Structure 1
Amino acid sequence: MKSELTSIELCAGAGGQALGLHLAGFKHRLLIEIENYACNTLRMNNKLHALGWEEIIEGDLLEFAKSDLSNYSNIDLVAGGVPCPPFSKAGKQLGQDDERDLFPTALKIIKKTSPKAIMLENVPGLLESKFDDYRKKIDDELRSMGYLTTWQLINAKDFGVPQLRPRVILVGLRKNIFPYFSWPDSYLEAPTVGEALYDLIASDGWVHAEQWREKANRIAPTLVGGSKKHGGPDLGPTRAKKQWQELHINGHRLGDNPPDKFFAGVKEGFDNMPLLTVRMAARIQGFPDWWEFYGRKTPAYRQVGNALPPPVAKAVGEQIKNAIISASANSE
C-alpha cells in the first residue's frame, strides 16, 4: 500500500471538495478548473498554506479529457463536481441534452486513469425519476470499467454546516474495494446562523449583536452561487431572501463589512438587518476562516456559493480512504 493516497480533482471551483479531501488524507496531484478567479483562489491557498497540490490547470475539461493522462494511471481517486445546471430545478433540467453536461467527459477521464475510487457530486435533482435512465447509463458504463457504484443524498447540516444544502454524491469503487465502503453517519450537529456568525457580526462593535444572535436561531437556507450571467451577488431567489429575512439577515445583497457600532437595532424590514460578508458566507458554507478567496465581492461570493462544503467532502473522503486501505490490508 502506498504511504499516501493521491487524487485528481475535476471542476475544482474554489476548492471546497478539494480541501475536504485534502483534510481526509488525499494528496492532490492535479486540480483542473476553467474559471480564472477560482484557479487563482486554488493557487493562492496552495501557496499560503503549503498544501502540496502538485499542479493546478486553468482550462477546459473537454480538452483535458482528450490529452494523454498516462501520468495519472496510478491515481487512487478521481473526484469532482461536474456542472449542475443540466439537473437543477432552477433550470430546464435538460440532463444529457444540455451542452454543459460533463458527466460523459468525467467518465472518459476515469476510463483513461483507472483510479481505485470515484467521487462525483451534483444537485438533488439528479435523483429525480426523470433521470433514472441517465443514472443507470452512468452505472452501467462504470460497471463495464470494473466499478460498483452507490448514490446518496447528503445534507450538509448533518455534518456541522449551518445551512440546508442537500447534494447528491456518486461513489464508485473497484469491485474488491466496494464491500469495505459505507456512507458516513451524521455525526455533528450544525450550529444556528446566530451561533456560527456571532463573533463576525459583533467584530466591529455592533451593540445589538447579542440580540441578533438570539433571533438568528436556525440554520440557513442553501447558499446560491449563481451564474456570471445573472447580476451581482445576493442570497438567492425570493423564497430564499424571505428565509434569510426570518433570520434577520438582509439577503438582497452582500456587505463589505460587519455592522458597525451604530447600525440599526434588530427590527422588522430587511433594510434594518445586517448583510452577510463573503467571510460570513464562507463560514456558513463550512470553509475554515483561513481559506482565502481571490477577487472582489461578486466573484468571491460566487466561488463560495457554488462550492461543496469541505466538511461534507471530508466525511465522504474518509470513508473512501478507509475502504481503500481496508481492501489493501485484506489482500495482503
Structure 2
Amino acid sequence: MRSIELFAGAGGLGIGLHRAGFHPVQVVERDVYACDTIRENQRRAGSVVAHWPLEQGDVRTVDFGVHEGKLDLISGGPPCQPFSMGGKHKAYDDARDMFPQAIRAVREARPKAFVFENVKGLTRASFQNYFQYIQLQMRHPEVTARADEDWADHLARLEQHHTSGAKGGLNYRLVTRLLNAANHGVPQKRERVLFVGFRDDLDLEWSFPIQTHSAEALIWDQYRDGSYWDRHRVARKDRPENEALTARAARMEARPVGEAWKTVRDAIHDLPDPEHDTVRARAVANHRFQAGARSYPGHTGSPLDEPAKTLKAGVHGVPGGENMLRKPTGEVRYFTVRESARLQTFPDDYVFHGSWTETMRQLGNAVPVRLAEMVGRDVARRLRFAA
C-alpha cells in the first residue's frame, strides 16, 4: 500500500506503519541529524528503511498534488513543540506549528486515509478551541482559510460547514484518541494523541484497537503469584515490598484478562550493564554509559520494575533528571541510547546518528514503533476490506 511520511524524525511512526504494510513513496524530514540517522540505516543491508525515498527539506516547499488519487495513506507527526509540556505553549501563535502543512498534504493528495500524531499537551484545556480547529480542518480540508482570516474566524466557518448537512468535495471521517503506549505493549507510559481519518466516499467504519496490556495484570504477576520475579530470576529476598500493591492484588478475584504492562526490566534485562560491563556493552550499538545522572525532586528516574516514564527530548538538551533508570537500590543512571531505543520499541539493528544528547532528542520526539504498527495494521486491514 502506497504512503507518504511527513515530519519523519528518526522514523518511529514510519517504521511501525511500514511494518503494517504501508510502503512510502516519499519521506520528508527537515532535521539533518534525523536524516543522517535514516541514511545511516539505509546503508545497512535488510534495514526496514533501506528503500525509503528520503527527502531532506522543508515540507512547506513540497507539491503533494503529484500524488493526487494515488495514495492509500499520509502519515506524520507535525512538530509538537507548540503543544509539548516541555515547550513554550505558544500553539497557533508558534511558527513551528506544522498542522496546516499536514492538512495541505491531505487536501492536495486526497489519500484514502491519514494517520497523524501529537503530544498529550495538545488536549490541555488552554488549547481546547485550537484542538477542535485542527480536527475540523482534517474533516474538511478543502474549507481553507481566506486571505487575512484569523484562525478563530476560520473555526467559526468550519463549524458552520460541518453542521450544514449534505457536503460535497473532499471530506474525512475522523477518529481521535489519547493513547497510552503502555496499554499496547510498549515498556513506557507514553501518551500520544492519534488522529485517524478515512475518506468519506469510502464509507468505512473504524475504531481504535482495544488495549492489550494493563497495570492490573502486572500487579497480579508481581504481588499475587510472583511470576514476574520468577521469570526474571529475582530471589525472594531481593523482591521489593509494597503493602498497597500487595493489598490491591489480594482484592483481585482472578488475574485480569490480557497481558501485563511491560517494564523497564522486561525491555533491557538482556543488555550488558553499560557502567560495569563496558567490554560487552561496547559490542552493542549505541550502548554507552553516560555519566552525570542525578535525582532531584520531581525527577527521580524510571523504576526498573514499572514501564518507563515518558522519554523526553528537552527544549535545551536532555533534562538533568529525565531519561534515567532508577535501580532498586535507589541509585540512578542515564538510559543509554540503545536502552532508550528498546523503550521506544525500535529494532535492535536500527542505529542512531549523532551525539548522546542529539540521539536522545530524536528518541524523545519519536512515536513508539509498536504503537504505530498496532494502529497501522488495523487501518491497513480496513482499507484492504474496502478494496
1:219 maps to what in 2? 307
* Aligned counterparts of 1:88 and 1:295: Cα–Cα separation in 2: 23
* Aligned counterparts of 1:169 and 1:139: Cα–Cα separation in 2: 11
Aligned residue runs from structure 1 range 132-151, under 5 A: 132-144=128-140, 145-151=170-176
1:322 maps to what in 2? 381
Return the TM-score normalized by structure 2: 0.68
Return the TM-score normalized by structure 1: 0.79
Distance 1:68 1:31, change over 3 A: closer
CA contact (8 A) 1:181 1:322 kept: no
C-alpha displacement of 1:109: 1.2
| Cα-to-partner distance string for 1:306-328 (whole Å, 9 max, x where unaligned) | 10000010011111111111222
Aligned residue runs from structure 1 range 221-240, under 5 A: 221-227=309-315, 230-231=316-317, 234=318, 236=319, 238=321, 240=322
Distance 1:47 1:71, change over 3 A: farther
C-alpha displacement of 1:274: 4.2
Residue 265 of structure 2 is aligned to residue 199 of structure 1:
no
* Aligned counterparts of 1:131 and 1:140: Cα–Cα separation in 2: 14
Q: Which runs of 5+ in 1 are unaligned?
A: 207-214, 249-265
Question: Identity over aligned residues, as a percent?
Answer: 36
* Aligned counterparts of 1:319 and 1:105: Cα–Cα separation in 2: 25
| Cα-to-partner distance string for 1:233-269 (whole Å, 9 max, x where unaligned) | x4x464x47xx46x32xxxxxxxxxxxxxxxxx744x
* Aligned counterparts of 2:189 and 2:203: Cα–Cα separation in 1: 29
Query: Counterpart of 1:217 in structure 2: which amino acid?
Result: D
CA contact (8 A) 1:151 1:170 kept: yes
1:212 maps to what in 2? none
Distance 1:122 1:26, change over 3 A: same
| Cα-to-partner distance string for 1:244-300 (whole Å, 9 max, x where unaligned) | 46x32xxxxxxxxxxxxxxxxx744x4xx4442110111011111111112232222
2:70 maps to what in 1? 74
CA contact (8 A) 1:161 1:284 kept: yes
| Cα-to-partner distance string for 1:70-128 (whole Å, 9 max, x where unaligned) | 14541111100011111122233221111111101111111111001111100112122
Residue 42 of structure 2 is aligned to residue 17 of structure 1:
no
| Cα-to-partner distance string for 1:7-60 (whole Å, 9 max, x where unaligned) | 111100000000000110100111111111111211232342254534101111
Structure 2 counterpart SS, 1:86? coil
| Cα-to-partner distance string for 1:199-254 (whole Å, 9 max, x where unaligned) | 11447649xxxxxxxx7211111001224xx14xx4x464x47xx46x32xxxxxx
Distance 1:216 1:141, change over 3 A: closer
**Correspondence for 2:2 among 2, 6, 19:** 6
| Cα-to-partner distance string for 1:131-183 (whole Å, 9 max, x where unaligned) | 33223323333333311111100111112111110000111111244633220
CA contact (8 A) 1:76 1:115 kept: yes
Distance 1:68 1:23, change over 3 A: closer
Structure 2 counterpart SS, 1:41? helix
Structure 2 counterpart SS, 1:125? helix
* Aligned counterparts of 2:129 and 2:353: Cα–Cα separation in 1: 39
Aligned residue runs from structure 1 range 105-120, under 5 A: 105-120=101-116
Name the one with the larger helix percent.
1
2:248 maps to what in 1? none
* Aligned counterparts of 1:178 and 1:156: Cα–Cα separation in 2: 29
Indicate the RMSD between aligned Cα atoms, in angstroms. Answer: 2.3
Residue 144 of structure 2 is aligned to residue 85 of structure 1:
no
**Correspondence for 1:312 among 356, 359, 371:** 371
1:58 maps to what in 2? 56
C-alpha displacement of 1:68: 5.6
Distance 1:293 1:187, change over 3 A: same
Q: Which runs of 5+ in 2 are unaligned?
A: 141-169, 214-259, 279-302
User: Of the two, which has the highest radius of gyration?
Assistant: 2
Distance 1:47 1:6, change over 3 A: farther
Decide which moves more: 82-91 or 69-78.
Answer: 69-78
* Aligned counterparts of 1:131 and 1:163: Cα–Cα separation in 2: 25
Distance 1:47 1:190, change over 3 A: farther
* Aligned counterparts of 1:68 and 1:216: Cα–Cα separation in 2: 45
Query: Counterpart of 2:269 in structure 1: which amino acid?
Result: Y
Residue 130 of structure 2 is aligned to residue 124 of structure 1:
no
Distance 1:57 1:198, change over 3 A: same
* Aligned counterparts of 1:99 and 1:301: Cα–Cα separation in 2: 24
Aligned residue runs from structure 1 range 146-165, under 5 A: 146-165=171-190
* Aligned counterparts of 2:371 and 2:320: Cα–Cα separation in 1: 24
Number of aligned residues: 285
